[in-house]
Structure 1
Amino acid sequence: MRSLLYAVGPMLFDSLGVIVFAVLLGLGVDLVIATIAGTVTAAGVVGYELARGRKVAALQWISLASVLFTAAATLFTGDPRFVMAKPTIVYLIVGSVMLRKGWLDRYILPEQLALVGDVMDRFGMIWAALMFASAGLNLVVALFFTAWWPLFIGIFPLASKFGLFAVHIAAVHFIGQARLRRRAGGELQPLAAE
């Protein structure tokens, strides 16, 4: 339970701007208002980290930059296609960042990293694949099923991420427990040899 709470906090915080935007759209709030609310929230997340003297995660900067760019384009042109295309662009950028080894390390207790760090790296690739798949799916829905896009963006991004998050946490927990049992039984070599 401690591991789950440790991971959930940063995940929700890092995604807060997107969550606000998606929930508002899912509730039928005007596109411009949802965009402004998402932008203010994303800026607030970065501002909060800076005010506390913490390092702002790369994904937070990317999220803020993309929200600001698409919000400005939407507000200046009044064209909602900028907002509809934004998730595809964001997912491609985020997916590319997620290809970097070790990006998930901040979401696990430091004492568990030595035990399941390799599993976290594998899940990093799975998360990247989800982002790339989400980018393609968003583009298809935005271009060919435009009327359904607000419902799609209000449900799929959060549902798919929380679904993968549940699988990720469960798999890491079970693998970590199995490794601890084997290690206690003397079946595993020291960490340096793994």
Structure 2
Amino acid sequence: MKDVFARLASDFLSAIIFLIIYLVTDNVILATSVAIAGAIAQVIYARVKGHQLSFMTYASLGLVVVLGAVTLLTNDPRFMLAKPAIAHFAIGTIMLKRGWMLRYMPPIVTETVPEYVTAAGYVWAALMFLIGAGTIVVASTGDLKLWAFYISVVAGGAKILAFAVQYIVLRLVVTSRRRAAARA
């Protein structure tokens, strides 16, 4: 669980940096420049430490640089605010692959209820698309406080709630099936 939150923080670090600096300084150019530099530094740091970098890491860096450049050229923060939506759409698309979630589950779950895990994977994909669409709607308003609330509370809370519901449902189903198998 700790690893999941660390990965989420890492994935959204440039957006977090952008938001903090923009809220403190009200300077789009400074916030965008520091966010771009932070994203580049994050990749360099990972490479120096010898960490394996995924496609998503490079895609995130590319988005920060491209959207950051557009933000700098237009002096409009909405482009940087839209970055998490693109990430959510990309992740949702990856989650449409049948059975993607099986490798993240403990053996007891994958052996007992693989069909539930596959269904949960599709539900997660739908959630990512929904959060991405919401992010674009909120980003288009240009209201940073609303965007910060949406990204941190609504989007983050939806993921935590979905994780909790998934955990409870899978635990109940696995327990039920194991009891039924023991009786038989």
TM-score band, normalised by shorter chain? 0.7 to 0.9
Q: Verify: 1:166 aligned to 2:164, yes or no.
A: yes
> Does the aligned pair in 2 maintain the 1:63–1:90 contact within 8 Å?
yes
Mapping of residues 58-69 of structure 1, within 5 Å: 59-69=56-66
> Does the aligned pair in 2 maintain the 1:42–1:67 contact within 8 Å?
no
> Does the aligned pair in 2 maintain the 1:141–1:149 contact within 8 Å?
yes
For 1:160, the aligned partner's letter is A
> Does the aligned pair in 2 maintain the 1:22–1:154 contact within 8 Å?
no
Match of 1:16 among 9, 12, 37: 9
Q: 1:74 to 1:145 in 2, by over 3 A?
A: closer
Matches of 1:41 and 1:121, distance apart in 2: 36
**1:45-83 Cα distance to aligned partner (Å, 9 max, x none):** 9648x925x6x5554554444344434544566432221
Q: 1:46 to 1:115 in 2, by over 3 A?
A: farther
Which structure has more relative contact order (CA 8 Å, sep 6+)? It is 1
Matches of 2:6 and 2:45, distance apart in 1: 7
> Does the aligned pair in 2 maintain the 1:39–1:64 contact within 8 Å?
yes
> Does the aligned pair in 2 maintain the 1:99–1:125 contact within 8 Å?
yes
Matches of 1:105 and 1:181, distance apart in 2: 22
Question: Which range moves more in the overlay, 97-106 or 67-76?
Answer: 67-76
| Residue of structure 2 equivalent to 1:121 | 118
Matches of 2:113 and 2:135, distance apart in 1: 32
Q: 1:175 to 1:135 in 2, by over 3 A?
A: same
Q: Verify: 1:85 aligned to 2:82, yes or no.
A: yes
Matches of 2:157 and 2:35, distance apart in 1: 20
Offset of residue 116 of structure 1: 2.4
| Residue of structure 1 equivalent to 2:39 | 39
Matches of 1:77 and 1:36, distance apart in 2: 16
Matches of 2:20 and 2:177, distance apart in 1: 42
Match of 1:179 among 177, 180, 183: 177
Question: Which range moves more in the overlay, 165-174 or 137-146?
Answer: 137-146
Q: 1:108 to 1:45 in 2, by over 3 A?
A: farther
Q: Equivalent residue of 1:51, what SS?
A: coil
> Does the aligned pair in 2 maintain the 1:95–1:128 contact within 8 Å?
yes
For 1:167, the aligned partner's letter is V
Q: Equivalent residue of 2:114, what SS?
A: helix
| Residue of structure 2 equivalent to 1:98 | 95
Unaligned runs of 5+ in 1: 1-7, 187-194
| TM-score (normalizing by structure 2) | 0.74
> How high is the sequence identity, in percent, across the aligned residues?
28
Unaligned runs of 5+ in 2: 26-30
| TM-score (normalizing by structure 1) | 0.71
Q: 1:102 to 1:41 in 2, by over 3 A?
A: farther
For 1:12, the aligned partner's letter is F
Matches of 1:179 and 1:126, distance apart in 2: 22
> Does the aligned pair in 2 maintain the 1:95–1:132 contact within 8 Å?
yes
> Does the aligned pair in 2 maintain the 1:116–1:175 contact within 8 Å?
yes
Matches of 2:60 and 2:10, distance apart in 1: 8
Offset of residue 43 of structure 1: 2.7
